[in-house]
Copies of this chain bind each other. A is one copy, B any other.
Amino acid sequence: MSPTFSSLLRHHRHHRLLRHQLPLLLFLRHHQTSSSPPLRIPLSHPTFLIWSSNTSLGKTLISTGLAFVSLFSPAPAPSKFLYLKPVQTGFPSDSDSLFLFNKLASLSLLHKPRFPILASHRVLKTSASAALSLSESPRHGGSLDFGMVDLGICEERRLEGERSGSGNGDGAVSELVSETIFAWKEAVSPHLAAERESGVVDDSVVVEMVQKGLRVGQRDGKEEMLCVVETAGGVASPGPSGSLQCDLYRPFRLPAVLVGDGRLGGISATISAYESLRIRGYDVVAVVFEDHGLLNEEPLMAYFRNRVPVLVLPHVPEDLSNDLMEWFTDSRSIFDMLKNIMKSSYLERMQTLLDMPKKARDMFWWPFTQHKHVSEDGITVIDSRYGENFAVFKDQDDRSLNQMFDACASWWTQGPNASLQTELARDMGYAAARFGHVMFPENVYGPALECAELLLDGVGEGWASRVYFSDNGSTAIEIALKMAFRKFSVDVGILSENSIGDASEKQPELLVLALKGSYHGDTLGAMEAQSPSSYTGFIQQPWYTGRGLFLDPPTVFLHRNVWKLSLPAMIHNESFEFDKMTFSSRDEIFCKSRDESDLSGIYSSHISQHLSGSRGSKYIGALIIEPVIQGAGGMLMVDPLFQRVLVNECRRRKIPIIFDEVFTGFWRLGTESAAALLGCAPDIACFAKLMTGGMIPLAVTLATNAVFTAFLGESKLKALLHGHSYTAHAVGCTAAAKSIKWFKDPRMNHNVTPQGKVLKELWDFELITQISSHPAVQRVISLGTLFALELRAEGSNAGYASLYARALLQMLREDGVYVRPLGNVIYLMCGPCTPPELCSQLLVKLQRNLEEFYLVHGKVERGAVTNAK
């Protein structure tokens, strides 16, 4: 498109609705994504991104055609058309928004009958040099050599119809808004123009401005409305910051129209562009291209198999003097068709979103959910996720998609920021195409091997030598228990000839040593290693017996800015002084010098007491612990000294040590493995959740060589006969390998310290201090990506089944933070790469809502708590 800007200036000077003077030179300050307010994308009317598979394929012609058929419909209902061009180069000689504005004016003259239309054109911000080309003498002289200029051009015209404003009966007039947001002078790629003209704009600023632009497009009344956002160049052309445009606009995930290529080679270009959009999560509703007589539509239709309609526009006259009026008229039926496709796909999307809660309530059986308490409006409709955020559909007032921070990390699985998610999507597509899934036993293939190497060099470093793959934490635990029991049985010599196969002879009984409040998964074997709780009653699992010796662990927590130790009654010791039960800092808790303390001795003798003594044919065949934090148990931080002493006592007795790192692994607690925090290694460890970056299920059980050799022998029946269909599936291993590398690489993860061993502190110290001192708060834990607080609560308000925190949950969700409490424990969980500023925002929101919650709900509890004291 190449209308000159002089016409704009001309209109500007002479038009009666001129509102602003040009150019207002306000410089914009770049700012970080993290401080942007949560996105809100209006869904009251159809909004589309117009992409193209290459530059110069006529995106603007198509936008113009859409505006044409939208505003000049045969039945002249009032309508509104919003055109946004966020990024324009070659400005002012190229201005797609001006082209559309002018062309519509010309087309309005052609149309019979003519309707009145209120048309406006705006250019918001340009580079200094582009602004200079507009006016001969810049007002702010020297300051023009960097940054973007707030141009604020606005021109409005009333395109008078044959029938005047009242023609459609109610006085409403159709409206066109055509807007360029950012413009640069050079007719090159935006990143180059921005750089050369010292007008680089951060992605977050573009996103914010587009969001503002979309708000301009809010429907005023009941008029038909269509909104298009036209990209620049091809789908993967860089935007002003250098980010690819398909990544830049991803937070909106607007449905797309793809302008294809009708030339030789255009089939390939169109398909590849489509695929780039798809693997970024976009929905393409139509492909449209200019006819070059090559019948490109046939293979495209074969490829799209009628999933995406393919429309062909007449050839565009090459004669530059042609005003295209004839072409637009000839193309009208195609544009009508395209508009209808867009409108009906919008309506279909709306219907789908609106129907979802009811359908979900009718068909799903959600885990851990009492369905009797789920109402349709209590169901969250998630349209997509991008990095740490959900896009949640809301059917309140005006329909919209709303950004929500996934503060429950979707059951503690999440790690990726937006960049990692994009890379994982592409890599997973690659792995699916290259491998799908292939048989694992006695085979080898790249992703499984790479994943195993990274695990043994990472979380297994220094102790593990074997990797056993399975699907989730629970299966990994079942495998770990089988490993530990075999190792123990071999070591203490309790295997008999009858141990193999179908034996009715009485066998010894093996118990597991575990901590009360621990959680290891929901399959029976994992449940048996847990102490009795609400999860394990007859009503939940009639087969549960609790095959363990369960110890009550001492815990630590922050309260009123002091880290405190809480000893279970059984450990209390008269010689131990009460004032030693606080710590000067969290670091002190993890300090290895505590091994020499009195408390260490007290722990040791307490444990010894439990482990000694005869059990007849019963043996303790394994120790299993969640290192440092018991997650599902309520985010309890166990005194690491106690766990370290426990490990040592078991090792002395040849009891194999299992670390359940399903929750704690992969930086959840600030180190790649929580074993590093404890300062001791297990014989067996289980990992899952964050391992694939939060994409798909995959679990591993790592083991030492000594454990492995307990399964060697002549008979296959001595091998570990446990496996799952998708053992070491390639897609999961690929995602895991990518995520493991990404999280620990300081170039990718800015939270990793240069030494690469520990995450920097993500939660603001000052805010933590304040929250830990709040009267509604019982205790606080902050470690790595986890911040948790327990609300003071008594009686039925405490515990897993408590609904006490429900109100706070609702308030936080309204505030854009998706929390999911564990009874009266509220936690915030970010990813290993989440910037600390974002964590602070979350804490501020938590604090604000906690205050409000306390004002309403605190009173009742306050009485109770005071009495309890």
Is A185 close to B, CB under 8 A?
no
A721 to chain B, nearest CB (A): 5
Is A688 close to B, CB under 8 A?
yes
Indicate the size class of the contact surface on chain A.
35 or more
Is A538 in contact with B503, judged by CB distance below 8 angstroms? yes
Is A675 close to B, CB under 8 A?
no
Docked complex Cα distance between A630 and B723 (Å) = 17
Q: If A235-B272, A507-B542 touch, does A474 touch B523 (CB 8 Å cutoff)?
A: yes
Which residues of B are found within 8 Å of A466, using beta-carbon distances?
363-365
Is A365 in contact with B708, judged by CB distance below 8 angstroms? yes
A261 to chain B, nearest CB (A): 9
Is B265 in contact with A271, judged by CB distance below 8 angstroms? no
Is B271 in contact with A365, judged by CB distance below 8 angstroms? no
Docked complex Cα distance between A524 and B416 (Å) = 33
Which residues of B are found within 8 Å of A445, using beta-carbon distances?
356, 381-383
Is A413 close to B, CB under 8 A?
yes
Which residues of B are found within 8 Å of A385, using beta-carbon distances?
434-438
Which residues of B are found within 8 Å of A253, using beta-carbon distances?
434
Is B535 in contact with A472, judged by CB distance below 8 angstroms? no
Docked complex Cα distance between A368 and B560 (Å) = 54
Is A478 in contact with B697, judged by CB distance below 8 angstroms? no
**Interface bits A735-779 vs B (CB < 8 Å: 1, else 0):** 000000000000000000000000000000000000000000000
Partner of A719, one of B267, B371, B426, B508: B371
Partner of A449, one of B360, B367, B542, B731: B360
Partner of A473, one of B237, B537, B724: B724
**Interface bits A40-55 vs B (CB < 8 Å: 1, else 0):** 0000000000000111
Is A436 in contact with B448, judged by CB distance below 8 angstroms? no
Q: If A234-B265, A439-B820, A523-B475 touch, does A372 touch B411 (CB 8 Å cutoff)?
A: no
Is A428 close to B, CB under 8 A?
yes
Partner of A299, one of B191, B446, B537, B714: B191
Q: Which of A78-86, A276-284, A314-322 contacts B (4 or more CB under 8 A)?
A: A276-284
Is A228 close to B, CB under 8 A?
no
Is A357 close to B, CB under 8 A?
yes
Is A370 close to B, CB under 8 A?
yes
Is A492 close to B, CB under 8 A?
no
Docked complex Cα distance between A495 and B542 (Å) = 10
Q: Which 6 A-B pairs have the closest CB atoms?
A: A234-B268, A429-B429, A367-B723, A281-B434, A524-B525, A55-B265
Q: If A486-B539, A695-B731 touch, does A436 touch B414 (CB 8 Å cutoff)?
A: yes
**Interface bits A59-75 vs B (CB < 8 Å: 1, else 0):** 00000000000000000
Is A671 close to B, CB under 8 A?
no
Of A189, A414, A444, which is in contact with the most chain B CB atoms at under 10 Å from its CB? A444
Is B731 in contact with A428, judged by CB distance below 8 angstroms? yes
Is B522 in contact with A689, judged by CB distance below 8 angstroms? no
Is A583 close to B, CB under 8 A?
no
Is B367 in contact with A727, judged by CB distance below 8 angstroms? yes
Q: Which of A91-99, A526-534, A787-795 contacts B (4 or more CB under 8 A)?
A: A526-534
Is B713 in contact with A370, judged by CB distance below 8 angstroms? yes
Is A537 in contact with B502, judged by CB distance below 8 angstroms? yes
Of A268, A273, A448, A536, which is in contact with the most chain B CB atoms at under 10 Å from its CB? A268
Q: Tell me the residues in window 438-474 of chain A with beta carbons closer than 8 Å to chain B beta carbons.
A: 438-446, 448-449, 452-453, 456, 465-469, 471-474
Docked complex Cα distance between A508 and B539 (Å) = 11
Is A533 in contact with B501, judged by CB distance below 8 angstroms? yes
Which residues of B are found within 8 Å of A502, using beta-carbon distances?
532-534, 536-537
Is A576 close to B, CB under 8 A?
no
A99 to chain B, nearest CB (A): 18
Docked complex Cα distance between A381 and B436 (Å) = 15
Q: If A242-B302, A486-B539 touch, does A278 touch B234 (CB 8 Å cutoff)?
A: no
Is A729 close to B, CB under 8 A?
yes
Q: Tell me the residues in window 389-426 of chain A with beta carbons closer than 8 Å to chain B beta carbons.
A: 390, 406, 408, 410-414, 416, 421-422, 424-426
Is B432 in contact with A537, judged by CB distance below 8 angstroms? no
Which residues of B are found within 8 Å of A547, using beta-carbon distances?
543
Is A238 in contact with B442, judged by CB distance below 8 angstroms? no
- Identical copies of this chain, number: 2
Is A294 in contact with B478, judged by CB distance below 8 angstroms? no
Which residues of B are found within 8 Å of A434, using beta-carbon distances?
253, 281, 384-385
A545 to chain B, nearest CB (A): 9
Docked complex Cα distance between A370 and B709 (Å) = 11
Docked complex Cα distance between A661 and B412 (Å) = 31
Is A337 close to B, CB under 8 A?
no
Residue ID in chain B nearest A56 by CB atoms: B265
Additional A-B contacts beyond A374-B442, A432-B695, A524-B524 (4; CB < 8 A): A414-B436, A428-B429, A437-B696, A697-B732
Which residues of B are found within 8 Å of A468, using beta-carbon distances?
365, 367
Is B721 in contact with A542, judged by CB distance below 8 angstroms? no
Is A591 close to B, CB under 8 A?
no
Which residues of B are found within 8 Å of A390, using beta-carbon distances?
438
Which residues of B are found within 8 Å of A648, using beta-carbon distances?
none
Is A616 close to B, CB under 8 A?
no
Is A360 in contact with B727, judged by CB distance below 8 angstroms? no
Is A378 close to B, CB under 8 A?
yes
Partner of A189, one of B299, B364, B429: B299
Q: If A443-B379, A537-B500 touch, does A696 touch B272 (CB 8 Å cutoff)?
A: no
Which residues of B are found within 8 Å of A719, using beta-carbon distances?
368-371
Is A439 in contact with B425, judged by CB distance below 8 angstroms? no
Is B696 in contact with A729, judged by CB distance below 8 angstroms? yes
Is A233 close to B, CB under 8 A?
yes
Residue ID in chain B nearest A662 by CB atoms: B725
Docked complex Cα distance between A380 and B716 (Å) = 19
Q: If A363-B453, A478-B522 touch, does A442 touch B697 (CB 8 Å cutoff)?
A: no
Which residues of B are found within 8 Å of A722, using beta-carbon distances?
367-368, 522, 540
**Interface bits A621-660 vs B (CB < 8 Å: 1, else 0):** 1000000000000000000000000000000000000000
Is B697 in contact with A267, judged by CB distance below 8 angstroms? no
Is A212 close to B, CB under 8 A?
no
A360 to chain B, nearest CB (A): 4
Which residues of B are found within 8 Å of A275, using beta-carbon distances?
236, 272, 275-276, 279, 426
Docked complex Cα distance between A444 and B468 (Å) = 33
Is A234 in contact with B430, judged by CB distance below 8 angstroms? no
Partner of A268, one of B235, B281, B525: B235
Docked complex Cα distance between A585 and B502 (Å) = 37
Which residues of B are found within 8 Å of A540, using beta-carbon distances?
482, 717, 720-722
A303 to chain B, nearest CB (A): 7
Is A436 in contact with B453, judged by CB distance below 8 angstroms? no
Is B444 in contact with A433, judged by CB distance below 8 angstroms? no
Q: If A532-B502, A536-B502, A539-B500 touch, does A366 touch B268 (CB 8 Å cutoff)?
A: no
A488 to chain B, nearest CB (A): 9
Which residues of B are found within 8 Å of A820, using beta-carbon distances?
439, 441
Q: Tell me the residues in window 784-809 of chain A with beta carbons closer than 8 Å to chain B beta carbons.
A: 800-801
Pick 22 A–B contacts, CB within 8 A, sort by A: A189-B299, A233-B268, A244-B299, A278-B429, A363-B453, A364-B449, A370-B714, A371-B708, A371-B711, A373-B716, A380-B442, A385-B438, A425-B433, A472-B726, A475-B475, A478-B524, A485-B542, A502-B532, A522-B723, A540-B717, A696-B731, A697-B725
